[in-house]
Amino acid sequence: MIRTIGVVGAGTMGHGIAAAFTLGGFDVRLQDPSAAVLAAAKPLIREELDLLVEEAYVDAAAAAAALDRIVPVADLSEAVAPCDFVVEAAPEQLELKQSLFAELDAICRPDAVLASNTSSLPLDAITARLGPERRRRTMVTHWYNPAHLMPIVELSFFGNMPEAVYAEIEALHRAVGKQTVKVLKDVPGLVANRIQQGVAREVFSIIEQGIAAPEDVDRALKFGPAFRYATTGQLEVADFGGLDIWCVVGDNLLAVMDDSRRANAMLRAKVREGKLGLKSGEGFFTYPPDQVAAIRRQFMRKLVHQLKASAFYA
């Protein structure tokens, strides 16, 4: 039975994953080799939990108890040895993850399950140095940012793991309020990121061609397809509209839409110019430095509202 969870790497994803598990009632041991990152993690989580309290999504006592359940630990062995489940959210470098998994294998109990939050590395490669028994208890658990608010976690079921082990990890993520997606093949991007890149490719192309202004393109997405997608998936939408219609419209539109196999050239040009979005003050829109914190908070606040609404349609 899973009670204690180790989160290795306390950066963007790790601190959010820790917040999600502790909010679900689990004891969390959070590790990072950077003393500065580790020291900043709990204050950051406190700030994020405060917003949930402010929005009446979590009550103040539950948020305080959740914060108390997170134990930051600098030493890897000390952090993960007592854990039943360990999720790694360290940088996306194969060599680093391979060594880390070898270390985790040596430290963790044989019955512990080890997971990687990798966005793009094959599980087989990450676990290359592990023996067959441990490989039966390793997987990808892919969260979305911000991890404590985005309800999706994609879980690998690539054929290396018995169904019972998968079922236990699936139940764990569902117990903390996540919607799980069982991914059967180890393909880059798993499911959700592939869908997202398909949309992004066309959106960038529409901007590049000057078909509509950035505000209008985002409005078309938010109040058009994405508005419906939050409640009704693409396959349901296709079924509801009629597959015959989707066939005809697909033939007409796909012939003229972007089919490039690389990131958009205009996007690349913006990156060259240092226009990286919110973090640099300009991307498709501009962000005055004195407003950046408020914009980030508003982004999270909207997600809390979506979470509340999703209780109805999930």
Ligand X SMILES: NC(=O)c1ccc[n+]([C@@H]2O[C@H](COP(=O)([O-])OP(=O)(O)OC[C@H]3O[C@@H](n4cnc5c(N)ncnc54)[C@H](O)[C@@H]3O)[C@@H](O)[C@H]2O)c1
Instruction: Provide the token pair at 22.
Output: 């502790």
Can you say whether the dihedral through the CA atoms of 296, 297, 302, 306 is positive or negative? Answer: positive
Backbone angles phi and psi of 206, in degrees to 5 = -60, -40
DSSP state of 291: G
Only segment of 10-18, 150-158, 208-216, 232-240 that touches ligand X (CB under 6 A): 10-18
Is the CB of 101 or the CB of 157 nearer to ligand X?
Answer: 101
**Could you tell me whether strands 138-143 and 179-183 are parallel, antiparallel, or unpaired per DSSP bridges?**
unpaired
Q: Which of 21, 24, 32, 190 binds ligand X (CB under 6 A)?
A: 32
What residues pair up with 86 in beta bridges, in sequence order? Answer: 6, 114
Only segment of 2-10, 155-163, 221-229, 246-254 that touches ligand X (CB under 6 A): 2-10
Is the CB of 100 or the CB of 206 nearer to ligand X?
Answer: 100
Does residue number 306 form part of the binding site for ligand X (CB under 6 A)? Answer: no
Shortest separation between residue 24's beta carbon and ligand X, angstroms: 19
Can you say whether the dihedral through the CA atoms of 55, 59, 63, 69 is positive or negative? Answer: negative
Is the CB of 154 or the CB of 170 nearer to ligand X?
Answer: 154
- Nearest-angstrom CA–CA distance, 154 and 196: 14
Three-state SS at 103:
helix
Is the CB of 42 or the CB of 142 nearer to ligand X?
Answer: 142
Do 310 and 151 meet the contact criterion of CB atoms below 8 Å apart?
A: yes
Q: Which of 100, 126, 140, 207 binds ligand X (CB under 6 A)?
A: 100
Does residue number 34 form part of the binding site for ligand X (CB under 6 A)? Answer: yes
Only segment of 58-66, 137-145, 149-157, 165-173 that touches ligand X (CB under 6 A): 137-145
Applying the rule CB under 6 A, the residues between 71 and 90 that interact with ligand X are: 89-90
| E strand segments, 63-220 | 70-73, 85-88, 113-116, 138-143, 152-156, 179-183
Is the CB of 8 or the CB of 52 nearer to ligand X?
Answer: 8
Residue nearest to ligand X (CB): 11
Instruction: Provide the token pair at 229.
Output: 């997608």
Does residue number 143 form part of the binding site for ligand X (CB under 6 A)? Answer: yes
String of contacts with ligand X for each residue 37-76, x by CB under 6 A: x---------------------------------------
Is the CB of 90 or the CB of 176 nearer to ligand X?
Answer: 90
Do 151 and 177 meet the contact criterion of CB atoms below 8 Å apart?
A: yes
